[in-house]
Structure 1
């Protein structure tokens, strides 16, 4: 891709920075390593089996819950509208997001082998950033959908037409792919000391940068720039959308009308708060808490717990989903 090559040229242009070893270990030869060691959540042998059961249960809930949301949306013609089009894709993205980390966690807990090949690490972080960015962009598209539905109800079907929905989805995929490849490219340019230990259960780019034996000034700067652009953009879009939504709802004269208008945003707003709140919690824990193990535990909230709760939020708080689910279950029992 031309953009990737341009980014690589820009990256190599800063190669004049002095080299300094950032590995917290005895001096060793810098080498092209073939694998990393994931330290996981705990070294206690007695906790491996309970942790395996917990993660397996959570993963099954995530898969089954999100697949049920997708099945309900596809099977019910009343849900073939933009809001649930984005919701079904969000559920599919959540499955991919957790599948990029949990199967590796389960394998490590079962086999007690925590090594991950260098190539597999790059693939994992690429998938993690791709699906994470997709989550963020789909939540932004859903916020725009609610903005049009509440602020421009008479023009909703004209504005949120199938062509625009597909365009928003394809744009989200392209941007997410670009972000994931940029992060993968940054990590692939780093050199590491022998026997690199990652104090987490997945390949976290920020930890890999800290463990690198090459200069990381450029990588850190570029990582913050990418996060500010592709992370701050969706957040700004969601905040702008809800500012307009709240402003329109306050103009509704009756309290019943206000509640009805806001209830259409309740599920989405809950998922937004859970997604960005857990992500912010991971960042604050890594800054405030000195223990890297605690930061790894906090990452569980972002990568596993939040995707697990999304189907419950939409199934319990959304009347359309509950009615469609009841109709699906009634048809299943009838047949």
Structure 2
């Protein structure tokens, strides 16, 4: 148990929890984190280590949503310039749609470098329209430990690795005045939120296997939106490898790898890349199969103050995209609590 009191306790060490701890620490709050799992732990109980973790924009006219996304692009963009030690890299990204003929000019057309709409001859087979631009890929195996180390060494944030069963237990354990509940899938029980629901995902970390076409395909992000949600995301820490997926299965808690889905993912990625992965072998070239559970919520993510608890969960597969924007909103809600000012 912590010996000295702190200003804010963060429950959860996934990307939203760690980023909230960072923004609060920057502001001058004394922060402590408690979590069942910490960066480096390889278990399906939490989602952040298994994320594709690409910072791709979502087209929307919601001003709050756009603001949160812009914060993430600015923050991760700055990290990409620091070098590979952060686990963030700027890469070319191409997005396709298979369920619409055209897409109105999105907000990010004026925000992301190199944005342009694709000509018809550039579209992937079976798709109807698309865009290309510079985006950001994040390797969780590098980024999460790096972020935790920054919190410890630069800001003196303490980490307590323990499972808690209630928000008040977390408050007592951390000796804090306010709790940030960034517990991901744990929020269903901890916040008594019946809308919180895990969303099963299955991906593969695949090696190019010396195939030049696969190497080229693994140098950029590609995503197909619509009926056949599919993506290829390069990994900065493992050259010539990429995460390929995907699937979203709300409420499915199956932890075993679906062999037929593996074949379907490879089929879809080959179709999207024009056969660039045709020589990839599902036995020889799969470095790791990944089954994970994204922390979803039926009505969308929740960032809300409830007394001296600030909730920040339910981001599904978009935790990295919204992490810094969510953390800024968390910080503003913490500031609302009049007796919880930073001690500079």
Q: Which has the higher strand share?
A: 2
TM-score exceeds 0.5: no
